[in-house]
Structure 1
Amino acid sequence: MTLTTTQQETFAQADDFHIAPYRADGTTPGTLTWIWSVVVDGDLYVRAWNGQQSRWYNAAKNQGAGKIMIAGNEYTVAFELVPVAGHEALQDEIDAAYRKKYAGSQYMPPMIADGPRNATVRVILK
């Protein structure tokens, strides 16, 4: 489902994104984990701080779906991996969105490094 204009604006400002990919049974959400999120070209993206070794990233990769909470609402979602190769321009736009949204944080520079870039996920509302 495409994000509405209101969702795009709200999600772009929200700093309360929690992700819970489904467990191995494919229906039970895992533990909600707080992570950073950005909106680029009307789509919602997240990155794993620990790169591809991240537990939530691997669950999202394996299950392809789960739950999120953002701006006080819960959503059922699908996860789509965004590889760096072939998506360099998009990755650069995501970097820029992280720089803008989290400019004051000491944790921002690592989020635009190779590890997290290689663990970028598009979050699609169902």
Structure 2
Amino acid sequence: MTNWEESELVAVGAAEELELRSQRADGSLRAAVTMWVVRSGRHLYVRSVKGTAGPWYRGTQARHQGSVAAGGVLRDVAFREADPDEYQQVDAAYRTKYGRYPAIVEHVLTDQARASTLRLEPR
């Protein structure tokens, strides 16, 4: 496994939004989807408001690989399901970063959204 460079963690973690492209079963990339991204420790995370039924989330499950772009960083990544033990720290990261949007941020703090928490691992 490759680790994030500190400069990448800072840049992506500070970016307002992230562009995510997942790989199809044939290896081609899907169209980019814009979403929120949070940093917790040395990890970056994304969630689907629609949970595991969300179209972009389902797309990540074909190969568990793709690419992300945010804050001037473009990286190939693996999509790893976060452990439920990570949910609380990810919740806190969303509240801290996006708390100025209270009516929206609550949608990524539901049990449905938590079940779709993906850790982005560089590859």
TM-score under structure 2 normalisation?
Answer: 0.92
RMSD: 1.2
Displaced runs of 4+ in structure 1, greater than 6 A?
A: none
* Residue 74 of structure 2 is aligned to residue 101 of structure 1: no
1:46/1:13 CA distance change after superposition, 3 Å: same
Q: Which runs of structure 2 are paired with 1:1-126 in the superposition (5 Å)?
A: 1-25=2-26, 27-84=27-84, 87=85, 90-105=86-101, 106-126=103-123
Which amino acid in the other structure matches residue 109 of structure 1? E
SS at match of 2:62: helix
Q: Is contact 1:45-1:120 (8 Å) kept?
A: yes
CA distance in 1, matches of 2:73, 2:7: 13
Matched residues, percent identical?
24
SS at match of 1:63: coil
CA distance in 1, matches of 2:83, 2:62: 15
Which amino acid in the other structure matches residue 112 of structure 1? L
Aligned residues: 121
TM-score under structure 1 normalisation?
Answer: 0.90
State the 1:28 CA deviation: 0.7
Q: Is contact 2:11-2:72 (8 Å) kept?
A: no
Q: What do the CA deviations read for 1:30-77 (whole angstroms, capped 9, x no partner)?
A: 010001111111111100111011111111122110111111332111
